[in-house]
Structure 1
Amino acid sequence: MKIGFSLPQAGGVAWQAPRVAGYAREVERLGADSLWVIDRLLSPVDPAIGHNGGERFPDEFRAVLDPFVLLGVAAAATERVLIGSNVLNAPWYPPAVLGRALTTLDVLSGGRLVAGFGVGWSPEEFEAVNVPMAERGSRLDETLDVLDRLWTADPAEYRGEHWTLPATRAALKPVRRPPVYLAAFAPASMRRVARRADGWLPALVLPRAADVRTAVTEPWAVIRRMAAEAGRDPDGLDVVLRIYPTVRSGTVVDEVAGLIGRVEAESEVRHVLVDLMYLADDVDRMLDLAAGVLSRVRGPRG
């Protein structure tokens, strides 16, 4: 099982940004396989839609560092781990700007970028970027089209309903075409994964983690079936599961390790991301938690 962790990005650790590079190096040294960012633009005072079914946004979202900058720092500070987004809200960004940033990150990291996208869900954030929320799905589809052009063609050109890429010289390419993973829970989003993506990004929340079969195994089977129906090889698709522990307790490391064991036994998932955002206000605490999870799952390092 590959095990990754979130970078220090949100909440109290946002004020410890100068320690991000050291954190990334140490987590890599501990044996982690990947490092990840989220994409949160606002923490609305009176949100129209709360986070994860609640009425408000978590306090951690009141301070969030830029995901692209953090991935750049992590890329420069490490040599082996994958660096990824889970997720970037792709409809917010002009695809040409997004493509430049992602290509830079892949080149900077030597081909270690995993591009994870979502459509976004907060009305206030869409208002802040002046993008109609109702267009988010179609804008994501066009963004995937533009990125494909920029990463495979020179000159590259695209003209769609929402985005235009005038014919442009596009000599700088990623080291390898970054795999694109999509967060998807609704049927239309799952079909997009099946038709267009390299992988799926599901999530489980602790302590109220749903049954692995219901939350991961069964939807994954549906996505694989949809991929076959679309003429794609289901075995060519991958999955990275995000685990968010949300309650600080003395047993949280054991709970995370136990869930990882269940996931490995009950699903085809072989790569998990442990999001430490809600568990630590200090980078040292994040490192302790990451070391604890790795030790519980894999045993002490020799």
Structure 2
Amino acid sequence: MKLGLRLPQRLGVDLQHDLIEAARTAEAAGYTSLWTYERLLFPQKPIEPYAEQPNVPWPEHSRQAADPLAVLAAAAVATEKVRLGVSLLVAALHTPVQLAKALATIDQISGGRVIAGVGTGWSSDEFKAVGVTRADRGRFLDETLDVFEAVWGPDPVAFRSPRVVIDNASVLPKPVSEIPVMLAGGGIDLGRNTKSKAVQRIAERADGWLPVMSGPGPAGGAELRASWNRIRDMACEYGRDPSLMQMIVVGNVTFTDRPAGPDRAAFVGTLDEIIDDVRTAADAGADEVIIDLNLQDWFSSTQQMLETAVEIRERV
């Protein structure tokens, strides 16, 4: 089973030293990929609860989330083989051409190891900070995907959309090879409406899916597998080869002192329960699981985080 590790970006991290140590330690331990995440700001009085979950406050660790592309560039220099992904970039927070250029640059620096995870986002506070609205988010994601295809293709580039006009220009650097574009979302939509725009976008345009498991055990695994099968069936309807798509499950780990039991959320519990969840994801068809330890407020140091990450890798 392949494992990825989210790099430390949270409050309290020594960015000058901890990022390099984490990247090198994870690669040496056998992690196959390193990931960053995006959080633009921390509102004192948020418009929405965290990640659109009812009554969930924004966690204190999100008071700082270092820039995901800068962190990924540092990891590219510090490592040799691991893939480098963002899970995920919020398309509406970026100018599409500049985002495409930044990803291509990191791909060149790393020798072709970048994975671009992109999504619509959810925070109105973040959208307001860059002058867009929640209503724009789906449209801007589609536009960003269109710009990626154009800018990463051959020069001269000619592209026109409501926000972006490129009139027969060279846009360099290009990626080393085709950058896989992964999309998140779709989980709730798959349970309610298999023809939703989010699900269609994954099936029609993505190189893979970045889901969060709804629950642990056989029930959570069965739901994940059923959703993945529906996405791949829909990809076939669009004339695509679903065998070329990947499912990389995001495991937002929260440790508990005692077993959390069958009613827990996925990736919440003891180390044994976390390992069980990795197994459940693998049985459901996941190609890889991202282990995110940034949620642990009781990690007093990045070294403690890395010791746990190495133990998880060895157990898996």
| TM-score, with structure 2 as normaliser | 0.88
Q: State whether structure 2 residue 293 is matched by structure 1 residue 285.
A: no
SS in 2 for 1:12: coil
Which residue does 1:41 correspond to in 2? 40
Q: CA deviation at 1:17?
A: 4.0
One-letter amino acid of the counterpart of residue 259, structure 1: D
Question: What letter is aligned with 1:220?
Answer: W
3-state SS in 1 of match to 2:71: helix
Distance of 1:206 and 1:38 partners within structure 2: 22
Q: Are 2:38 and 2:90, in contact at CA under 8 Å, matched by a contact in 1?
A: yes
**What does the per-residue CA deviation read over 1:192-241, in whole Å, with 9 as the maximum and x for residues that have no partner?**
01111100000137889971222x21211111121111111121211110
Alpha carbons of structure 1 residues 205 and 227: separation in structure 2 relative to 1, 3 Å:
closer
Question: What's the offset of the Cα at 1:131?
Answer: 1.5
Cα contact 1:11–1:277 (8 A) shared by 2: no
Number of the residue aligned with 2:27: 28
Alignment correspondent of 1:264: 282
1:300 corresponds in structure 2 to none
- Give the secondary-structure state (helix, strand or coil) at the position aligned to 1:228: helix
Counterparts in 2 of 1:14-25, with a 5 A limit? 15-25=14-24
Instruction: Give the stretch that moved more between structures: 282-291 or 17-26.
Output: 17-26
SS in structure 2 of the partner of residue 153 of structure 1: coil
In the comparison of the two structures, how many residue pairs are matched?
294
Output the CA distance in 1 between the equivalents of 2:153 and 2:240. 20
Which position in structure 2 is the counterpart of 1:273? Answer: 290
Aligned to 1:9: 9
Aligned to 1:200: 209
**2:87 aligned partner:** 86
Q: In the aligned structure 2, how far is the partner of 1:171 from the partner of 1:16?
A: 29
**Counterpart amino acid of residue 268 in structure 1:** G
SS in 2 for 1:274: strand
CA contact (8 A) 1:245 1:252 kept: no
Q: Tell me whether 1:213 sits opposite 2:206 in the alignment.
A: no
Mapping of 1:22-171 within 5 angstroms?
Answer: 22-52=21-51, 53=53, 54-171=55-172
Q: C-alpha offsets along residues 9-29 of structure 1, whole Å, 9 cap, x if unaligned?
A: 11332x444221121011100
Could you say which residue in structure 1 is the equivalent of 2:233?
Answer: 225
**How far apart, CA to CA, are the structure 1 residues paired with 2:243 and 2:179?**
18
- For residues 85 and 198 of structure 1, what CA distance do their matches in structure 2 show? 14
Q: Structure 2: any 5+ residue segments left out of the alignment? A: 190-195, 259-268
Aligned counterparts of 2:60 and 2:31: Cα–Cα separation in 1: 27
1:179 aligns with 2:180: yes
Is the contact made by 1:86 and 1:116 (CA closer than 8 Å) also made in structure 2? yes
What secondary structure, in the 3-state scheme, does the structure 1 residue paired with 2:17 have? helix
SS state of the match for residue 177, structure 1?
coil
Q: Distance in 2 between matches of 1:212 and 1:8?
A: 28
Question: Which residue identity does 1:257 align to in structure 2?
Answer: I
Q: Is contact 2:282–2:288 with CA below 8 Å preserved after alignment?
A: no
1:247-296 CA distance string (max 9 Å, x none): 4537633222111112222x111211011111234210111111110111
Identity %: 37
Kindly provide the amino acid, as one letter, of the partner of residue 234 in structure 2.
Answer: M
Change (3 A) 1:178 1:2: same
Cα offsets for 1:106-165 (capped at 9, x unmatched):
001100000000111000100001122201111111111111111112011211123333
Letter in 2 for 1:242: V
So what's the TM-score if we normalise by structure 1?
0.92
Contact residue 5 and residue 32 of structure 1 kept, 8 A: yes
Cα distance, 1:77 vs structure 2: 0.2
Unaligned runs of 5+ in 1: 298-302
- 2:254 alignment counterpart: 246
TM-aligned CA distance change 1:246 to 1:165, over 3 Å: farther
2:216–2:280 CA contact under 8 A, matched in 1: no
CA 55–294 in structure 1, closer or farther in 2 if over 3 Å, else same: closer
For the residues of structure 1 that align with 2:310 and 2:35, how far apart are their CA atoms?
16
Q: CA shift at 1:90, angstroms?
A: 1.3
CA contact (8 A) 2:255 2:271 kept: no
The secondary structure found in structure 1 opposite 2:58 is coil
Alignment CA distance shift 1:162-1:210 (3 Å):
farther
Given residue 8 of structure 2, which amino acid in structure 1 is its aligned partner? P
Matched residue of 1:83: which SS?
strand
Alignment equivalent of 2:199, drawn from 190, 207, 224: 190
